[in-house]
A and B are shown apart, each in its own frame.
Chain A
Amino acid sequence: MRRVAITGVGVVSALGHSRAAFFESLRLGRCAIGPIESVATDGLKFHCAAEVRGFDPLQWFDPRAVEQLDRSVWFAGAAAAQAVEDSGLGLRGPRAAVVTGSSIGGKVSEDAVYRQLYAERRTRFDPLTIPRVMTNASASYLSMRYGVTGPVYTVSTACASAAHAIGQAFWMVRSGMVDAALTGGTEAPFTPGMLRGWEAMRVVAPDTCRPFSLERRGLILGEGAAMFVLEPLEAALARGVHVWAELRGCGMSADAHHITMPSADGAAAALRAALADAALDASRIGYINAHGTGTPANDATETRAIRQVFATPPPVSSTKSMHGHALGAAAAIEAAATVFALHEGLLPPTMNYLTPDPECDLDVVANAARPATIEFALSNSFAFGGLNAVLAFGRGDLD
């Protein structure tokens, strides 16, 4: 089996429109949560989110493409352009894959035309509605943009979408099925309907996101995309390119338990599966980027899951406290944060942390990044519907 290197990283998030801006924000512990600007929140119980502000798609696409693509694909395209340029790898042809994750697809475009239909009683529909709204629009766009003619598809598993996507791409490169993959996740969920749906679930915090903290009151929605170029480590070394990190393993599981309540056993099974797939003992893990949504249920359950697997849990943080919960893009953005931790020797913090919660008795990296030279790290993703995926990463310079 081949080892798999990450040679390209691209990020668009509330913390900025580039990988450099994202990394710098993690270093400084910048929190991008603020009043929602893209949607009117009158009558909503919450008013804060982590939006991607000031994103100009014309910096990344020609005007015709901007019209044809949903906001979620703008993010995917911008993140992918960064990752591909970073890696310097040509992805063209049948030996390359694109696997993207997205929970809800082109919701912003869908909301706009449904508003015309239901509220404005318009009788004509924009003919680009269907291709703009389809959840695989980002994968299709990227395949055309880079000439990728191998396996190209989208995985939709709610808040774990990008982790399942990256895991699938990783396995394809590791097994030799393809020689390169462009993978990650994207999401643009800010529409009146989606905000109402989240409000009705009573899981969104009215103030901010405080994962693992006693005062946590729920999640804060985010948006954006992160994309990665994967290739065999041997090929990357032969090309002499920079290796950000190594993707070592992926573990998946399902709770088969409840549509919204997480199960510690299911999450623990995914953690164990990731360690087994990476052939790593739990004691080798130096950091966990938690799912850490900031809801009372997730963080306590995730703590129990981590304690089931780790006799002495490594430091843990949730970067959702900075970039929000980007749903189908969350695992990709957090994979980038995990790559940052390994590459920079700096564990990104859980911001807005106040008081330790006895139900979350972990070593939480709180309110400031923590220097730590580590070899291996995990990134957790646990979705509504009980679908779990954990990615295992190694530092890029390990033998």
Chain B
Amino acid sequence: MPETLEERVIRVIAKAQHIPREAVSTDSKFEDLNIDSLDGLQILFALEEEFNINIPDDAGQRIRSVRQAVDGVAALVEGTGESVNMQ
């Protein structure tokens, strides 16, 4: 089964943070995952690379949870028209 957008975001965050995927859920807050501001920058960079999107600085600063990351990426991906399995 192809990976959903949500699963892709979780995979990217887990890899950037060097934590198991199982430790990350849609409901995880960055704070709970020990993601500090510099980690957050790395995650934004990794998400941009994964989805070939550009996340504006102010939008990036507002992302503080996995759900916000998923929603933000989904909105940007729709904008680029990239085909993503949204399930």
Contacts and interface: CB of A to CB of B under 8 A. Distances in A.
Query: A and B from one assembly?
Result: yes
B18 A127 contact: no
Interface in A124-152: 124, 126-128, 131
B49 A128 contact: no
Given A63-B18, A64-B18, A128 B42 contact: yes
Contacts, number: 17
Contact of A124 (B17, B18, B38, B48): B48
B45 A126 contact: yes
Contacts of B41: 127-128
Interface residues of B, number: 9
Q: Interface residues of A toward B: which range?
A: under 10
Interface string B35-63: 00010011011001100000000000000
A127 B42 contact: yes
Contacts of B38: 127-128, 131
A128 B46 CA distance: 12
A124 B44 CA distance: 11
A126 B16 CA distance: 12
Nearest to B48: A124
A62 B18 CA distance: 10
Interface of A: 62-64, 124, 126-128, 131
10 contacts: A63-B18, A64-B18, A124-B45, A124-B48, A126-B45, A127-B38, A127-B41, A128-B38, A128-B42, A131-B38
Interface of B: 17-18, 38, 41-42, 44-45, 48-49
Given A127-B38, A128-B38, 15 more contacts: A62-B18, A63-B18, A64-B17, A64-B18, A124-B45, A124-B48, A124-B49, A126-B45, A127-B41, A127-B42, A127-B44, A127-B45, A128-B41, A128-B42, A131-B38
